[in-house]
Structure 1
Amino acid sequence: MEDGTERAWHAIPDPDEVLRQLNTSRDGLSTEQAAEALAKYGRNALTPPPKPSFWMKLWAQINTLFIWILFIAAVVSAGLQAWADMGLILGVVVINVGIGLFQEGKAEKAADAIKAMLSPTATVVRNGQRDTIDADLLVPGDVVVIKSGDKVPADLRLLECSNLQVQEAMLTGESVPISKNTAAVPADVGLGDRKCLAYSATAVSAGQGLGVVVATGDSAEIGKISKMVSEVTSGKTNLLIQMEVLARWLACIVGVISLATFLLALLHAHHSAGVAFQTAVAIAVAMIPAGLPALVTIVLALGTTIMAKQNAIVRQLPCMETLGSLTVICSDKTGTLTKNEMTVVAVRSAGNLYKVTGVGYDPKGTFQISGEDLSSDKQACVQALLEGTVLCNDSALTTDDSTGTTIYTPNGAPTEVALITAALKAGINTDALKKTTPRVASVPFESEHKFMATIHAVGPATGSGSQRRVIFVKGAPDRLMPLCNSQLADDELETIRGGHGGSGVVPLQPEFWLTAQEQLSSQGLRVLAICRAEVAPGENVVGMTANDILARKSQPFLTLMGLMAILDPPRDEAIAAVKVAHRAGIVVKMITGDHALTGLAIGRMLGIAGNGSVITGPELDAMSDEQLRLVAPTCNVFARASPENKLRIVRALQSVPPVAAINAYNNANKKSSRATSPAGEESTNGMLAQTSLGVPSADVKIEVAGDSGSLATSSYGSDLTQGDDGKMHHRKGTGVNVVAMTGDGVNDAPALKAADIGVAMGITGTDVSKEAAKMVLADDNFATIVTAVREGRRVWDNLRKILLFNLPVNFAQGGSIFWAFVFGLHDMPLTAMQVLYVNLVTAVTMGIMLAAEPAEPTVMDRPPRRPGKRLLGKLILWRCIFVTHLLVILVLGSFYWGQTEGLSLARRRAEAFNVLVFGEIGYAMTTRFIKASTLHKRALHGNPWCFLSIGLTAALQFFLTYTPGVSSFLHMGEGMSGIQWARALVSMVIVYFVVEFEKALVDPVLMPLLVRPVLNWVEKHTPDWLSMPKPHKWMGCKKGGVVRYNSVTVRE
């Protein structure tokens, strides 16, 4: 027996030659041959990938710099016998790790889901006898019987077919069952066109067949996909990388200041080494934002909750942040961009083209000519045509009125149900028609012949007791027109009950019908021809076959009644969502398993067809990776795409700059743009000049005229800069596309996992696609993705607000202790317990307020954030420095003021503690808007958590200050006077208005003159281990996958 794993079995013309090469026959293998093959090829099962254990997942949560810093602080606290401090710190660690395990605890189940789709048993022919065996015992060479309702147990080369139809949507994306035959096809055709093969795990929807096993287990097509899913591993997201960099910076800053404090306390204040060390530890604990990991998780979790209510279910929290930087959405067509409801949109008769209104299977609609509805009496002109489509039909449209609203459910092939719906729109009683015009014989549809025929008894019986019989045929126009010798004149179309005797029949005009077919097909419509003919009295039609009909081609006998044009229409909300995506600088690409013309037509309706180009799967197969990187950004419609094609498209897009996204933003927002090459030549439609690898050359730039200021200050950050000429320039070497990929089938799983955001369909999606994806759409609606992008951008903004709030507060706590020693104050203004309370309670309470802040109105009117843009931008760093010192001045000022008034240490610490917390409240109020002023009526509504958090925090301060036991535990047991409370409240007002004033000055004065030059110098001299990965480290290709810090790597 020859190895059958990698041959092009679909290209071997003779099925018996396939059997010979596999050393088998139609009687199947012998028991001994099967045992030998099982030992050689192994079981018909998928190799499971290794899974991480619970301890590995636990270690992954613990092994972060933030957690290690907290561990060290806990150990030091234990060494100083500060058990309460240690307990609180370890509590924070447990909470953070627990939240991480809860959110990320789902094991990788994609391969298990694929395994569950395989057939458990198979009907096999061995030793000349049929037998049912476990499907995992099948081997190449086994002869297998399949029938309607079965799952195909292995990849089969078909030997016999009888009306065999297989649902292959999970592999190819085709939304309708595929008719199978035994005819060979060229070796280079795609999966969806290999009609003589049946694939493992696909479902037989009709008919029966006999096939020989040519591939099993990992060698089958579904096994190859399973292997691709296992080999594609998701790397760290941008957010996780950013948090690691932040932790490094914090470790350095905390370490330096703690060491300086230790030396000051020991040498300047002349404390003992133990006291100096304890003070240094207190500063370290004060400056570490212990609640920050929990706050980040809260922001992401809140975002997922909001998105779940809008039908977007996020499976991995960090991808919430990634949504905000999407530049490309690659979407499936059927059911996502379209309704997945075939609809007759036009009827072509000899005299007119009738437009049919209405969408889907709801029979509400009319027939129109030139935009005018036809009256009910004039609709009779197409009644004969529509009645023919009802009778030559094996499907039905069922209704359910139990809920008070009529629900229409298709039962059968979508195309046939669409024909019935069109007939109902014309007022035809389909059930009555079928009863009064009974079927007496039929010829089932076969892909080899591409038509279906039914013979019906029509009208009353004649004197001899027999009835007239009429044959109706529907199918591909190019197959039926050679069988036609006449056509119905448009004004003579009559019902089949009318006793037609030949009036109104005129000679066929082939050129007219060919032109009509081409015009409809060029719009991506599926075109069917409907024909009829009288059956001669006495002619035997029982047992008629397609060959009997084709044999009459030399004497054409059919009358062509007309053409039906059918389309799966785009969703209205998808059209609107595409416009929003373009306005937000996001390119939408359609990757479908359907035909090129259909994909292009839907693309035009959606507004994503771009320059009108479409690339098919076979064309992609012929391209090198370099060629694909060149064309992928410029083509928005990909047709007949295989799983490998989808994965390659995603990788190609992930390895080139987001030029198309910038152009989409410019075009949608009416900004004139042009791309210039080094030689000064302009490229077409605003795209950047490209090198042979599809990557902009080093000197290429984008120049944007018009309102460039809004783009300059957009979230795209350093990817776009404003030059001295006032125009926008694309900074070379920065940024690559961030790609979302949608899918519902097994074939989509590798691309879903490789994409930055894999989006699975919740209704039609397989378990495989859902487990490989990071997000699931509960409503299978493209518009939900755009809604999720909006939420992702809100999450990013709110993460920055939380950092903007937390870091200055923590630095102010440590700074208060540090500067107290510098200025010779022998007592610390804040205790360790007060600091931990602020870190874990106050900061989290106010942080929740910022986490719940709604999206800004213009969040979808700005281009995507540059991939890799820092959370800690220059503005945040500046404000950290500014607000830290503002709070330190207020805290130390109140502490020193109390000392001059002769207040006790407990009272002074109580005042310093409350000044800090109320200063935080004032700062949190102004942080709700990073740049815009909060002195606006918009600040009074939109966030129900705002005043709740402020009120709760203030109430807790009164409780802590005056509750016996609690106040002494926090070292402020004597309470505060009225004047002290007044100073605390004034500190809140001071912080609020000083920061609001700073906002007014930061852009026009502070940033250009002070902040940007200083921080640019710091950035230039920052070592690599404290920086984000350099662009060259996450751009470009490597064998097996694109190396990117926030995307994927593939094991080699």
Structure 2
Amino acid sequence: MEDGTERAWHAIPDPDEVLRQLNTSRDGLSTEQAAEALAKYGRNALTPPPKPSFWMKLWAQINTLFIWILFIAAVVSAGLQAWADMGLILGVVVINVGIGLFQEGKAEKAADAIKAMLSPTATVVRNGQRDTIDADLLVPGDVVVIKSGDKVPADLRLLECSNLQVQEAMLTGESVPISKNTAAVPADVGLGDRKCLAYSATAVSAGQGLGVVVATGDSAEIGKISKMVSEVTSGKTNLLIQMEVLARWLACIVGVISLATFLLALLHAHHSAGVAFQTAVAIAVAMIPAGLPALVTIVLALGTTIMAKQNAIVRQLPCMETLGSLTVICSDKTGTLTKNEMTVVAVRSAGNLYKVTGVGYDPKGTFQISGEDLSSDKQACVQALLEGTVLCNDSALTTDDSTGTTIYTPNGAPTEVALITAALKAGINTDALKKTTPRVASVPFESEHKFMATIHAVGPATGSGSQRRVIFVKGAPDRLMPLCNSQLADDELETIRGGHGGSGVVPLQPEFWLTAQEQLSSQGLRVLAICRAEVAPGENVVGMTANDILARKSQPFLTLMGLMAILDPPRDEAIAAVKVAHRAGIVVKMITGDHALTGLAIGRMLGIAGNGSVITGPELDAMSDEQLRLVAPTCNVFARASPENKLRIVRALQSVPPVAAINAYNNANKKSSRATSPAGEESTNGMLAQTSLGVPSADVKIEVAGDSGSLATSSYGSDLTQGDDGKMHHRKGTGVNVVAMTGDGVNDAPALKAADIGVAMGITGTDVSKEAAKMVLADDNFATIVTAVREGRRVWDNLRKILLFNLPVNFAQGGSIFWAFVFGLHDMPLTAMQVLYVNLVTAVTMGIMLAAEPAEPTVMDRPPRRPGKRLLGKLILWRCIFVTHLLVILVLGSFYWGQTEGLSLARRRAEAFNVLVFGEIEGLSLARRRAEAFNVLVFGEIGYAMTTRFIKASTLHKRALHGNPWCFLSIGLTAALQFFLTYTPGVSSFLHMGEGMSGIQWARALVSMVIVYFVVEFEKALVDPVLMPLLVRPVLNWVEKHTPDWLSMPKPHKWMGCKKGGVVRYNSVTVRE
């Protein structure tokens, strides 16, 4: 259906007017009209998004600078007929490209999953006759019949409803089926409030209805979501960009040093041009960390394995690193932050407000007044009040003891199951009560009337042989109070129990009950009233309808017994996780399809909505993008949100600096007794004001932040850093928020795909949401996200450790060759095959040890890292200078040691001593000297890897002996391989060290390991207080200042002053306004 025909169909008062505007009637379209409409609007199907071909995906993986560098090295090796070198390098290329292809292209499956949700057939009225047709043949104007068990085949404006309930959780997030009617609603209401519409792909859970098709295909709500999903294009993650920049730096450094080596070998060492060129190639191969891509994948894969054990399943490896930089988590409410188990938290009678303890469907809890359990007489009063909620109830709570632990499973509407649970807490035997008080008639719940009623036979039979009958009515207080003429005090409840009647019935006090209802509702609680009345003898109640009850409004006949306050309580672990998130500088925002007051109440209980403000979907619709960018960071609760709202919120947060994260971190880590909420408001002792029910007080004002917002103009484009006082501060730069978004429905898919980390629910989530997300929670628990953030931060730390290890080692390999020619050594101390072995075996083996390092204890006590922060930081650059030359000195020293020509008499005597003691011959061969240089390099790397386990902390501590089982395994394996390579015939010749090594040579190799370890440990103690401020930071700041843009990290988008039509973010998505 074309967009031009879209109208606010839900706002047209008369359904017949809808039919007239669509040129149809209740008899449906004729065959000719349907054919014309099909030609005009097209099929009721979703337009498939364009998909890249396999060859395009393959080219995308190959077309990276790292791969091209390896390709060039392989081609040059082939030109020099170094076939083994070429084979190893191409093997690395194939492995990396294969891994990339495996991880590529899962996002486009989301659109396929949406298509699979559509109904294949539809029952349509055409030519006045019912017929079943393919759903993709439906057109606007078709009249469609839907019933329980059907999928709605297109967007319908309802013409007739009979107890029609539709499950719309996939679109609106509402977990409870929505009762539908035919009454029009204002044009600006959200999707969840359009009760006269039924949406394509939603499921009919009860009743039946008749509707006219108003939107099909891409114009239906499900089609709009599919279009949004396909238009949100995933971009490169921060990690991939970092690796690209690193590859550029490596290309420049390797190119310059290789050229210098070629000239030195040719002019200074007097080699031929061919040998000089081969030497330059060797140094290039030595300095390229060929195993680095594999190590990065190993780090990410280990992280995903650990997270999977903790119920977080990562679908795209690069997002592991992004988790560590999150500044905002946007979460659904139901089932993620809350238990998704409706719970009665309070009961209001005429005389008392009873607090109900315990949460969920487990009937463990008590009724209390002023914090004390009830006396026996008060308990009996509560039982009498709750018996009506058990009888006027179509749901049940089943138990399963087969596992040894009682498991309670709801069967029916969640609200009604909550009433059953409350009755069990009060000590009522619900099964016995239903048997002794049988139901004789009922009036089912209808959304139009908002109540249900049941009639029961109670008490002993009268003289005529018939039992007395009582009607119980349960529903919305505003609908039932006009039907009431009286109320009961607590001390009279017991007198009416079992239908005995009582004399304590007093006239209704409407003001009291209205005030009580408002107090409970203002706290976000769902309030139900329970009423009763005696049925007159002889009155026929069979076939009674809601209209029969409403007809007695002129003569009210019900007695109001009390009010039930119900809430879906927050998870205990979610409350704790929110605190951890705030301490880690992460802001938590709740985006829900629920009502504003309910969302606000839950938000305050979780510690999210500290400023007491909430923004609804219609209010968001009225805001411009600029207004939303000002408001989004300051408001933490969004209610009645549509799919478009969620997508706009994510994009708005992604385009502004993480100012709120700074506040959250500083407030959560404040040591004074007067704490500040995440939004910046102070509260006594950091606690939110609450009533005796344990829910926020009613003194809350719903408001929308103004255009000015709370972000000072001077803070735009700033990012966060941690100062000496431990607090986060603004720093000039271009940082923006890194946003996670949770969701479980189809409506969440666009926002999930647009977010830096889309998080889908594994239990309640649809296939659409899972395909659009980068991570899936197997337990649907918010706390798992915070656990994943911890793991993401560990992954980032370990990636830095791997770079901290790999780059100096690679530069040392190349540096050894380079400085050998500078100092006039005629032969290379290391061969290309040796350095390839170090790159692909030793570096990977030791890298696995670093990849498996556990998280540091304070990893969640520090702020999020600055968005766009380089992996290649100042410490790594310093180590590339310091450790590189330390290893070079040891390698060249050992290589030079074996040369006896030109040595002094003292050295000759030392060599004679070596011959006497160790059997070492005078004048070591080139092969043996290379063997020693090779082993000195590897054992020096072992020493360096041991100290790199902790970036700044000393490893001279007992904690270095435990926590990482891979540590000693990797060290032992690497050492064993060195002995194997050195002494195994054929293998040692292949690596150009065929004669083995003597005892003194092994001693020098082991000493090199000890030297490197203790020198770097000593450097750790000096680098921060002395070396960084006096030497490293000034020099590297100057280098950074004069670095060209193509060697720098791309800058995140500054939204201030951006032009419409071209917003590109480097670490998330391409956003087109």
TM range (shorter): over 0.9
Change in Cα spacing, 1:699 to 1:455, as seen in structure 2 (3 Å) is closer
Give the conservation status (yes or no) of the 8 Å contact 1:909–1:971. Answer: yes
In the TM superposition, 1:44-59 aligns within 5 A as 44-59=44-59
Give the conservation status (yes or no) of the 8 Å contact 1:218–1:227. Answer: yes
Change in Cα spacing, 1:106 to 1:189, as seen in structure 2 (3 Å) is closer
Change in Cα spacing, 1:610 to 1:809, as seen in structure 2 (3 Å) is same
Farther off after superposition, 357-366 or 797-806: 357-366
Q: CA deviation at 1:189?
A: 0.7
Give the conservation status (yes or no) of the 8 Å contact 1:919–1:988. Answer: yes
Farther off after superposition, 147-156 or 895-904: 895-904
Change in Cα spacing, 1:461 to 1:95, as seen in structure 2 (3 Å) is same
Deviations 1:560-604 (A, max 9, x none): 000001010000000000000000000000000001111111111
Q: Secondary structure at the match of 2:564?
A: strand
Q: CA deviation at 1:463?
A: 2.5
Q: CA deviation at 1:733?
A: 3.5
Q: CA deviation at 1:523?
A: 1.3
Q: CA deviation at 1:103?
A: 3.0
Q: Does 1:885 align with 2:885?
A: yes
Give the conservation status (yes or no) of the 8 Å contact 1:678–1:699. Answer: no
Change in Cα spacing, 1:58 to 1:674, as seen in structure 2 (3 Å) is farther
Q: Secondary structure at the match of 2:209?
A: strand
**Percentage identity across paired residues of the two chains:** 100
Deviations 1:903-950 (A, max 9, x none): 100100000000000000000000001111111111111000000000
In the TM superposition, 1:156-235 aligns within 5 A as 156-235=156-235
Farther off after superposition, 708-717 or 512-521: 708-717
Residue of structure 1 aligned with 2:1011, choices 978, 990, 999: 990
Give the conservation status (yes or no) of the 8 Å contact 2:1063–2:1072. Answer: no
Change in Cα spacing, 1:1033 to 1:881, as seen in structure 2 (3 Å) is farther
In structure 2, the residue matched to 1:663 is 663
Q: Does 1:43 align with 2:64?
A: no
Give the conservation status (yes or no) of the 8 Å contact 1:337–1:781. Answer: yes
Q: Secondary structure at the match of 2:480?
A: helix
Change in Cα spacing, 1:954 to 1:893, as seen in structure 2 (3 Å) is same
Change in Cα spacing, 1:696 to 1:324, as seen in structure 2 (3 Å) is farther
In structure 1, the residue matched to 2:998 is 977
Q: CA deviation at 1:371?
A: 1.5
Change in Cα spacing, 1:1000 to 1:688, as seen in structure 2 (3 Å) is farther
Distance 2:702 2:735 in 1: 14
Change in Cα spacing, 1:360 to 1:619, as seen in structure 2 (3 Å) is same
Q: CA deviation at 1:686?
A: 14
Change in Cα spacing, 1:302 to 1:464, as seen in structure 2 (3 Å) is same
Change in Cα spacing, 1:584 to 1:678, as seen in structure 2 (3 Å) is closer
In structure 1, the residue matched to 2:911 is none
Distance 1:242 1:837 in 2: 26
Q: CA deviation at 1:462?
A: 2.2
Give the conservation status (yes or no) of the 8 Å contact 2:663–2:680. Answer: no
Q: CA deviation at 1:374?
A: 2.2
Q: CA deviation at 1:1032?
A: 5.1
Which ranges of structure 2 fall in alignment gaps of 5 or more residues? 901-921
Q: CA deviation at 1:1051?
A: 5.2
Distance 2:5 2:412 in 1: 35
Change in Cα spacing, 1:690 to 1:43, as seen in structure 2 (3 Å) is farther
Give the conservation status (yes or no) of the 8 Å contact 2:328–2:739. Answer: yes
Distance 2:746 2:704 in 1: 43
Q: Secondary structure at the match of 1:471?
A: strand
Distance 2:22 2:339 in 1: 44
Q: Secondary structure at the match of 2:884?
A: helix
Change in Cα spacing, 1:731 to 1:756, as seen in structure 2 (3 Å) is same
Q: Secondary structure at the match of 1:1049?
A: strand
Q: CA deviation at 1:671?
A: 6.3
Q: Does 1:456 align with 2:456?
A: yes
Distance 2:285 2:711 in 1: 41
Q: Secondary structure at the match of 2:486?
A: strand
Give the conservation status (yes or no) of the 8 Å contact 1:1035–1:1044. Answer: no
Give the conservation status (yes or no) of the 8 Å contact 1:325–1:865. Answer: yes
Give the conservation status (yes or no) of the 8 Å contact 1:310–1:784. Answer: yes
Deviations 1:810-859 (A, max 9, x none): 00000101111111111100011101000000000000000000000000
Farther off after superposition, 287-296 or 448-457: 448-457
Deviations 1:240-284 (A, max 9, x none): 000000000000000001111111111222211111111100000
Q: CA deviation at 1:555?
A: 1.3
Change in Cα spacing, 1:822 to 1:5, as seen in structure 2 (3 Å) is same
Distance 1:702 1:451 in 2: 28
Change in Cα spacing, 1:671 to 1:540, as seen in structure 2 (3 Å) is same
Distance 1:707 1:996 in 2: 54
Q: Secondary structure at the match of 2:709?
A: helix
Farther off after superposition, 879-888 or 550-559: 550-559
Deviations 1:326-381 (A, max 9, x none): 00000000000000000111111111111111211111222111222225554210
Q: Secondary structure at the match of 2:703?
A: strand
Q: Secondary structure at the match of 2:160?
A: strand
Q: CA deviation at 1:464?
A: 2.4
Change in Cα spacing, 1:695 to 1:387, as seen in structure 2 (3 Å) is closer
Farther off after superposition, 749-758 or 545-554: 545-554
Distance 1:897 1:86 in 2: 32
The CA RMSD measured in Å over matched residues stands at 5.7
Change in Cα spacing, 1:716 to 1:45, as seen in structure 2 (3 Å) is closer
Distance 2:941 2:202 in 1: 60
Change in Cα spacing, 1:667 to 1:703, as seen in structure 2 (3 Å) is farther
Change in Cα spacing, 1:555 to 1:426, as seen in structure 2 (3 Å) is same
Q: Secondary structure at the match of 1:279?
A: helix
Q: CA deviation at 1:793?
A: 0.2
Give the conservation status (yes or no) of the 8 Å contact 2:629–2:652. Answer: yes
Distance 1:597 1:578 in 2: 20
TM-score, scaled to structure 1: 0.95
TM-score, scaled to structure 2: 0.93
Q: CA deviation at 1:208?
A: 0.7
Deviations 1:197-217 (A, max 9, x none): 000111111111100110011
Distance 1:10 1:715 in 2: 43
Change in Cα spacing, 1:211 to 1:697, as seen in structure 2 (3 Å) is closer
Farther off after superposition, 694-703 or 638-647: 694-703
Distance 1:91 1:785 in 2: 37
Change in Cα spacing, 1:466 to 1:1032, as seen in structure 2 (3 Å) is closer
Deviations 1:495-530 (A, max 9, x none): 766333342211111111111111111111100000
Change in Cα spacing, 1:384 to 1:691, as seen in structure 2 (3 Å) is closer
Change in Cα spacing, 1:669 to 1:475, as seen in structure 2 (3 Å) is same
Give the conservation status (yes or no) of the 8 Å contact 1:673–1:704. Answer: no
Q: Secondary structure at the match of 1:443?
A: strand
Change in Cα spacing, 1:546 to 1:48, as seen in structure 2 (3 Å) is same
Farther off after superposition, 689-698 or 518-527: 689-698
Q: CA deviation at 1:39?
A: 1.2
Distance 1:489 1:638 in 2: 40
Change in Cα spacing, 1:697 to 1:656, as seen in structure 2 (3 Å) is farther
Q: CA deviation at 1:479?
A: 1.1
Distance 1:485 1:678 in 2: 48
Which ranges of structure 1 fall in alignment gaps of 5 or more residues? none
In the TM superposition, 1:726-875 aligns within 5 A as 729-875=729-875
Farther off after superposition, 293-302 or 893-902: 893-902
Distance 1:223 1:288 in 2: 49
Distance 2:231 2:714 in 1: 37
Deviations 1:17-66 (A, max 9, x none): 11111111111111111111111111111111112222222222111111
Farther off after superposition, 664-673 or 821-830: 664-673
Give the conservation status (yes or no) of the 8 Å contact 2:741–2:759. Answer: yes
Give the conservation status (yes or no) of the 8 Å contact 2:475–2:529. Answer: yes
Q: CA deviation at 1:727?
A: 8.8
Q: CA deviation at 1:981?
A: 0.3
Give the conservation status (yes or no) of the 8 Å contact 2:41–2:139. Answer: yes
Distance 2:832 2:704 in 1: 54
Give the conservation status (yes or no) of the 8 Å contact 1:235–1:1046. Answer: yes
Q: CA deviation at 1:456?
A: 1.6
Farther off after superposition, 335-344 or 534-543: 534-543
Distance 1:693 1:718 in 2: 42
Q: Secondary structure at the match of 1:949?
A: helix
Q: CA deviation at 1:702?
A: 29
Deviations 1:395-448 (A, max 9, x none): 111222222222211111100111111111222222222222222222221222
Give the conservation status (yes or no) of the 8 Å contact 1:319–1:757. Answer: yes
Change in Cα spacing, 1:382 to 1:718, as seen in structure 2 (3 Å) is closer
